[in-house]
Amino acid sequence: MSKTANSPRVIQSTVQPDDTQVFEAFRRWGYLAANLDPLGFLQPLDYPELRLAGEAADRARRIYCGTIGAEFMHIPDPARRLWIIERLEAPAPEPNRARILERLIRADLFEQVMQARYLGSKRFSLEGTTALIPLLDEILIAAAERGAVESVMAMSHRGRLNVMTHIACKTPRDIFAGFEDVDPRSVLGGGDVKYHVGATGSYKAGEREIAIHLVSNPSHLEAVDPVAIGRARAKQDRFGGNSRGSQPAHDLVLPVVMHGDGAFAGQGILAETLNMAGIHGYTVGGAIQIIVNNLIGFTTIPAELHSTRFASDVAKRLPIPIFHVNAEDPGAVVRVGRLALEYRYAFASDVVVDLIGYRRHGHSEVDDPTITQPLLYRKIKDHPPLWQIYAQRIAMDAAAIAAQIREEYETAQRDAGKLKKIPALRQLPGYWSAYKRGRYDRSYEVDTGVAAEALGEISRVLSSTPKDFHVHPKVKKLLDQRAEMGAGKRPVDFGYAELLAFGTLIREGTPVRLSGQDSRRGTFNQRHSALFDTEDEHEYVALEHVAPGQARFESYNSTLSEASVLGFEYGYSRDFPEALVLWEAQFGDFANGAQVITDQFISAGEDKWDLPSGVVLLLPHGYEGQGPEHSSARIERFLQLAAEDNIQICQPSSAAQYFHLLRRQALRPWRKPLVVFTPKSMLRNPAASSPLADFSRDRFLPVVPDAEVATGARVLVCSGKIGHELRAERSRLKNNSTAILSLEQFYPFPEAELAAELARHSGEIVWVQEEPGNMGALFYVVPKLRRLAGAGRSVLSIKRSPSASPATGSVKAHELEQKTLLTLAFST
Ligand SMILES: Cc1ncc(C[n+]2csc(CCOP(=O)(O)OP(=O)(O)O)c2C)c(N)n1
């Protein structure tokens, strides 16, 4: 093929465009020819559609190809495009230059003092993108003018300490104390590095104050995004819910999420989070997304980080504006900040600000960047700090103020060295004061039983529909059965036990929020938290009509995502301890798509950051011949995460047990994440249903004793659905000497309860599980059983053979395996 055949063809029109067409071209493509990179590596494109001459073209070029590159013509709504056009084409407002300069000096000198004093410590300097500080200042001032009272902020390592000081308003002394590491004994085995911990503070934004919550985050880039959005949503709901009242709640709480350019382009959890932005159950009325873009990720250049010209392109999945801005034009940066904020308030939309600068040092300051980018860093070495460039540009002598600020930071550094303890940088909000964290204590227990009369009243609401509502015939049958369950005329099944738990809780004042894929109906057709009219599909949610003055009930079908949805619900639980917040996996094994959230936040958050959560994970689990991916919720992985009473791990084997477990989670003052292995076939197994009377007994039993064999000569210990199968096999064999105990709470381990039950029986103890020998609770339970058994009493185990995949894909092979398990369990 010839070379010319490959070059882009430019169609030259012979017709001269009029002024409107000229402007349209620049509005659409101008950002590609804008001057965005202070060091000039991201060269403006010589874009064919912009090769236009004349007065209109010159004017349009000044607006659209300067230091602001506005990408917005992909937004389908003309009103939104016009809104942006009107503002960009109006004269730029005069910035408060002295204020900007002072912030730039502070941001730069803060880093410089740390570099001088703590050489060899990691801090991830902001130098090269210090315009972030005046950008956030302007955003917060404009937000306060619109009534914002809180801002939930999230960011990774880059410039975090700078933001903590200058935006969350922690004193430099308190930040420097982290480098002094004055009290290592207080955090043995726990705590986190200083550039991950959160901060709370108050920012003076013009005449008003905005409370700042900088969210604690792990090293895993972007994992904090959905957590921050969930936290913002919870805070908005605390103010009365989205779009309720005269001042919509989303006006009051502003989410600001900051990203690196590499992370923004690369991490799927951000794409998942952006996808939730406009969805009713998850919206926060728009977040400001800022890319702190230094055109490098560790040692990797943009061409290796994204397939597109800009890191921001993943945000184009949403119809939202992207404002690229040259970080070395602070006036333009501040202008973009206000524009972005006003757009968010005008349209309840996300906005992206792509702040393009450079990185003065290596990835961290202990890293030598000249090894991989020698030319770039030669150029950066000779490049003056932004405050000096800006002071010169606006003809201000900044030497005196710089000296005074430097002295301020040096004094703070000396004071930090004298501290005996590292000061706490954040405080839990007041709504946490009624709740306990840390170790479990028996005094936290409460009765969770509900009188039959109250259950009957709630059931009457849950099992009926408004007069003119057309119920699906299958649902009608279920509602009739539920009416009988609530009246004590038939055992209550798992699905209804859950709705009764929700119904009783909201009646008593505990809000309930449930989200997951297809959770409203329930993957297994078991829940029906919302009913759909067969004639017009309008919906009816009986749980919204349980009693006057009841608490809120919400159930949402989530997007097809695990990480971001679980992250969101974890975040929500962090700011709504009064509520029962549940995330449901479609099948338990899909929870591994959210592993980062489980590992980094749910199980370790309290240990690292002293931040509690009561989030509940519902993970369908059980071996039913559905193949490798629909069988196991990977009990073993959660057990491995358990220590220091950080989480609760339970598998209730009956409807009443599930009811008490959910109510216990909400009613105990102890806030701890709860992982529940939930049923599939047990949903329809009559043996797993419970008489209504069991809902009135006092509480959840961590160990369910054997109701038939009081003193067995042998004892099987198991958990979940296999217990029902073992009991059925026992009665088939007419065996009355083998006791079966069901372990319903794995962690915290109910040692006393289990020991008492084991003591009632004699002979060998056998742990029976459905999972292969390298999975399930075996590795966790058997050593504990051995300890409880003591010398002379043997402990054996029955399980599937160790296997690389959790389960067979063949139904027949599954049945054969299951039969063998049961046979072995009763062979001595
Ligand atoms: C999920 C994840 N993968 C890898 C890393 C390791 N890592 C830390 S910083 C970094 C580069 C980030 O680049 P960028 O997002 O551009 O931010 P910058 O450090 O340049 O500000 C990498 C790869 C990480 N922290 N998280």
75-79 long-range contacts (CB < 8 A, ≥24 apart) are 75/319, 75/320, 75/321, 76/319, 77/319
pTM of the model: 0.96
pLDDT at 135 over 70: yes
Percentage of the chain exceeding pLDDT 90: 90
pLDDT: which is higher, 437 or 193:
437
pLDDT, tens digit, 9 for 90 and up, residues 514-565:
999 999 999 999 999 999 999 999 999 999 999 999 999 999 999 999 999 9
pLDDT, tens digit, 9 for 90 and up, residues 454-463:
999 999 999 9
Whole-number pLDDT of residue 120: 80
pLDDT, tens digit, 9 for 90 and up, residues 469-508:
999 999 999 999 999 999 999 999 999 999 999 999 999 9
pLDDT at 243 over 80: no
Distances (CA, A) of 192 to 76, 411, 413, 650: 44, 26, 21, 29
Q: 2: how many CB neighbours lie within 10 A of its CB?
A: 6
* Sequence-distant (≥ 6) Cβ neighbours of residue 157 within 8 angstroms: 124, 195, 196, 219, 364
Band of pLDDT at residue 732, cut at 50, 70 and 90: very high
- Minimum CA distance residue for ligand 1 atom 17: 260
pLDDT at 245 over 80: no
Distances (CA, A) of 141 to 259, 520, 658: 21, 40, 49
pLDDT at 119 over 90: no
Residue with tokens 């009219």: 533
In the DSSP assignment, the letter for residue 140 is H
pLDDT, tens digit, 9 for 90 and up, residues 285-327:
999 999 999 999 999 999 999 999 999 999 999 999 999 999 9
Q: At 185, list the tokens.
A: 């004994």
pLDDT, tens digit, 9 for 90 and up, residues 789-826:
999 999 999 999 999 999 999 999 999 999 999 999 99
Quote the ligand 1 centre to 321 CA distance (angstroms): 25
Residue range 15-29: mean pLDDT, rounded: 91
Whole-number pLDDT of residue 196: 86
Helix or strand (DSSP H, E) at 766: strand 765-772
Point out the ligand 1 atom lying closest to the alpha carbon of residue 158: 21
**Mutate which of 221, 224, 305, 363 for ligand 1 pocket (most atoms within 8 A of beta carbon):** 221
Quote the ligand 1 centre to 123 CA distance (angstroms): 14
- Minimum CA distance residue for ligand 1 atom 13: 297
In the DSSP assignment, the letter for residue 385 is P
Question: Which residues on adjacent β-strands are paired with residue 747?
Answer: 649
Whole-number pLDDT of residue 188: 66
pLDDT at 252 over 50: yes
pLDDT at 8 over 80: no
Q: 813: how many CB neighbours lie within 10 A of its CB?
A: 12
Band of pLDDT at residue 246, cut at 50, 70 and 90: very low
Band of pLDDT at residue 187, cut at 50, 70 and 90: low
Band of pLDDT at residue 422, cut at 50, 70 and 90: confident
Quote the ligand 1 centre to 156 CA distance (angstroms): 8
Point out the ligand 1 atom lying closest to the alpha carbon of residue 294: 20
Quote the ligand 1 centre to 669 CA distance (angstroms): 38
Residue with tokens 């949610």: 541
What average pLDDT does the chain have?
Answer: 94
**Mutate which of 298, 299, 367, 600 for ligand 1 pocket (most atoms within 8 A of beta carbon):** 298
* Sequence-distant (≥ 6) Cβ neighbours of residue 187 within 8 angstroms: none
Residue range 147-167: mean pLDDT, rounded: 96
C-beta of residue 632 within 8 angstroms of C-beta of residue 669: no
- CB burial of 81-114 (b: ≥16 within 10 Å; e: otherwise) equals bebbbebbeeeeeebbbeebbbbbbbbbbbbbbb
C-beta of residue 462 within 8 angstroms of C-beta of residue 619: no
55/61 Cα distance (integer angstroms) = 10
Residues with CB under 6 A from ligand 1: 158, 219-221, 260-263, 292, 294, 296-298, 363
| Residue 260 backbone phi and psi in degrees, to 5 | -85, 160
Among the ranges given (114-123, 129-138, 316-325, 600-609), the one the predictor scored with the smallest mean pLDDT: 114-123
* Sequence-distant (≥ 6) Cβ neighbours of residue 443 within 8 angstroms: none
Band of pLDDT at residue 423, cut at 50, 70 and 90: confident
722/527 Cα distance (integer angstroms) = 23
Question: Which residues on adjacent β-strands are paired with residue 171?
Answer: none
Quote the ligand 1 centre to 219 CA distance (angstroms): 8
pLDDT at 600 over 90: yes
Residue with tokens 């130098």: 127
Percentage of the chain exceeding pLDDT 70: 96
Residue range 166-186: mean pLDDT, rounded: 85
**Mutate which of 363, 364, 380, 599 for ligand 1 pocket (most atoms within 8 A of beta carbon):** 363
114/123 Cα distance (integer angstroms) = 8
Helix or strand (DSSP H, E) at 216: none
C-beta of residue 322 within 8 angstroms of C-beta of residue 71: yes
pLDDT, tens digit, 9 for 90 and up, residues 376-393:
999 999 999 999 999 999
Whole-number pLDDT of residue 366: 86
682-687 long-range contacts (CB < 8 A, ≥24 apart) are 682/494, 682/622, 682/653, 682/720, 682/721, 682/724, 683/493, 683/494, 683/495, 683/524, 683/526, 684/493, 685/721, 685/724, 686/491, 687/724, 687/727, 687/728
Quote the ligand 1 centre to 697 CA distance (angstroms): 52
Q: 367: how many CB neighbours lie within 10 A of its CB?
A: 13
Band of pLDDT at residue 154, cut at 50, 70 and 90: very high
In the DSSP assignment, the letter for residue 571 is H
Point out the ligand 1 atom lying closest to the alpha carbon of residue 219: 25
Whole-number pLDDT of residue 44: 97
Q: At 120, list the tokens.
A: 């060899």
